[in-house]
Structure 1
Amino acid sequence: MRMLFMSAALSAAILLSGPAVAMEGAATAKDAAQETGPIPGALSALPRERLSPDIVRQALHGENITLSRWEVKAGAKVPMHSHANEQISLILSGRAEATSGGKKYVLGPGDFLLFPPYVEHEFVMLEDAVALDLFAPRRDDWIDAAAPQKAASASNEADAAALVALQDAWVAAEISGDAAALARITDPRMLSMFSSGKMIGRDAYIDWIVNAEIAPFTIIAEEIIIDGDTAVVVSQIGDRTRLVWTAIKRGGEWRGLAQTFSTIEPEK
């Protein structure tokens, strides 16, 4: 069975325009349309979607609006993007820097920005932050993207979660230079390919990591494709690097088989 988790546009899709993960019990426009009075609820009761190690989202869809709550770690960045929805972004705690129209805005608790439709904007989290976004009209792209996921089997959903956990473990092992951990989570045949054209095997890759000083970095998964016992994870590292990571499942466990790094060229 093939399962596709796809974002709309780079890692901007993850924070402000990404697909909703299937949510059992979440209030939706269909629920609202069937009611003649107010629908009570609480943010604490909305399902929590961990979109990456740095981002958690909760979303509520009405007939005409979408409300989302975000918990985002310091350093996470949302590249410049735009969408058809008008958007109000309100910071509840922490600090963020937004860029739009060639200007920068530092937002703290209680500060907000209103983005008209199709106005490009970018966010960088200066501190761990909690924010609310209000979209009008509602984010139908989130709802549409969630539909095929609701039909996915429990085993494939578990595989997707396992792949995210595997990537988290890979990041931690690289930063700490843990050779044993890198060997456990990668296949002996693993190849690493770099934007320079250089290609090395697993042992050479692990030796290089152990002897290098890897600074902490943020990785955001943009797309996960699962097809049987093979998976591809497309991620963005920082501002300029894209990683395409291939994994295979053996003995019930996922392991990295190949990774390709490429440079993201700035838009002209």
Structure 2
Amino acid sequence: MTVKNYFPANQNALVHVQSGLARKVAAYSDNVMCVEVHFEAGTIAALHSHPHEQITYVISGKFEFQVGEETYVVSAGDSLYKQPDILHGATCLEAGTLLDIFTPHREDFV
């Protein structure tokens, strides 16, 4: 992969993943990826797992997350860590935006 240092927002498309859920890939390299995720209230991101480490930072809104056996209600300023292969998902309680950081990058997102 050629290293890229600048990712202008207007050149990154908002991709509609499902009803009420869209994402925009921001900066990334082979080792790390930053993704903006937009939710409408009531949207559910189904339980899933993947081999990537993930940190989620709540920019706005309110969410109920299941991470492994635990459930957390989070809002702006809160963050979560998801280790590789842990089952996790979310329900959006109030419309909002998350910032997800993955390592390594999600090949399926680019």
Range class of TM-score, shorter chain: 0.7 to 0.9
Corresponding position: 1:135 with 2:102:
yes
* TM-score after normalising by structure 2: 0.88
Helix, strand or coil at the partner of 2:94: coil
Mark the CA change 1:122 to 1:132 in structure 2 (over 3 Å): closer, same or farther.
Answer: same
1:141 is paired with a residue whose SS is helix
Alignment correspondent of 1:112: 79
Q: Distance in 2 between matches of 1:83 and 1:65?
A: 15
CA offsets, 1:48-98, max 9 Å, x none?
112233122101331211111011101111222111000001110000000
Query: Which has the larger share of strand?
Result: 2
Q: How does 1:16-31 map to 2 (within 5 A)?
A: 30-31=1-2
Alignment of 1:138-217 (within 5 A): 138-143=105-110
Change in Cα spacing, 1:74 to 1:142, as seen in structure 2 (3 Å) is same
Q: CA deviation at 1:44?
A: 4.6
Residue 128 of structure 1: SS of its match in structure 2? strand
How far did residue 138 of structure 1 move?
Answer: 0.9
Please say if 1:86 is aligned against 2:41: no
Rounded Cα–Cα distance in structure 2 between residues aligned with 1:54 and 1:108: 18
Query: Secondary structure of 2:41's partner?
Result: coil
1:253 maps to what in 2? none
Question: Hey, what's the Cα distance between the residues in 2 that align with 1:52 and 1:115?
Answer: 22
Q: Does the aligned pair in 1 maintain the 2:25–2:109 contact within 8 Å? A: no
Q: Which runs of 5+ in 1 are unaligned?
A: 1-29, 144-268
Matched, 1:58 2:24: yes
The number of residues matched between the two structures is 109
Q: Radius of gyration: which is bigger?
A: 1
Cα RMSD after superposing both structures: 1.7
Separation of aligned partners in 2, 1:101 and 1:40 = 35
- Give the equivalent residue in structure 1 for 2:9: 43
Higher RCO, Cα 8 Å, sep 6+: 2
Provide, for residues 228-260 of structure 1, a one-character-per-residue CA deviation record: whole Å limited to 9, x for no partner: xxxxxxxxxxxxxxxxxxxxxxxxxxxxxxxxx
The CA deviation at 1:141 is 2.8
Structure-1-length-normalised TM-score: 0.38
